[in-house]
Chain A
């Protein structure tokens, strides 16, 4: 079963705007990861945040984690057309023996 569930499922924004996606999960995690996928290609790892971390940055990306609410958010600031992709959250859980379970993904379209 899917552990992570992203919200919203699809997002369309203008270039330069910020894009925010949320991910909720059900069981306790060791870490949560965000990935990007362009048009049916392999996924690219973006950020890993551990269960004892609350926020992490990488370039224009900011990830937050709220373990009490079992949720995470991914913020892309100053979006570019090249950010158009599907974004997935994935969780590594103790109960799942640390295998990564992916959500269904968010489709983000950045309009130039």
Chain B
């Protein structure tokens, strides 16, 4: 079984730009969660999608958005990038919410 695939692996953007990150879950998994990881804040929950519906949303500004497609693939978008958005963005999938998560390798975003 292929693992959770996140693209791209690394990204450098300048302040004010926008970025779209992609996540392909394990085949058969319908739940996708996104986390932001920084040294200071640790793992912060961004969103969770299940069957194309956003089930949960973390405490992030409206610049952070996401969606899930009918094939369970998910994207997250960050608009008007700020320096503080530099982080490792992790996507994880599970068959159903609350079950054990399988994580991708993450996208390392650097905002300069």
Asked if A99 contacts B33 (CB within 8 A), the reply is yes
A41 within 8 A of B: yes
Interface size on A, residues (CB 8 A): 25
Bound form: Cα–Cα A31–B2 in Å: 26
B11 within 8 A of A: no
- CB contacts (< 8 Å) of A2 on chain B: these are 42
Asked if B97 contacts A97 (CB within 8 A), the reply is yes
In the complex, which residue of chain B has the Cβ closest to the Cβ of A43? B103
Q: Which residues of A in the span 45-90 have a Cβ within 8 Å of any Cβ on B?
A: 45, 48, 88, 90
- CB contacts (< 8 Å) of A48 on chain B: these are 99-100
**Known contacts being A33-B100, A41-B106, A45-B102, is A99 close to B90, with CB within 8 Å?**
no
- CB contacts (< 8 Å) of B43 on chain A: these are 88, 102, 105
Interface size on B, residues (CB 8 A): 23
Bound form: Cα–Cα A56–B46 in Å: 30
Asked if A96 contacts B56 (CB within 8 A), the reply is yes
- CB contacts (< 8 Å) of A102 on chain B: these are 35, 42-43, 45
A44 within 8 A of B: yes
- CB contacts (< 8 Å) of A105 on chain B: these are 42-43
- CB contacts (< 8 Å) of A43 on chain B: these are 90, 92, 101, 103
- CB contacts (< 8 Å) of B88 on chain A: these are 40
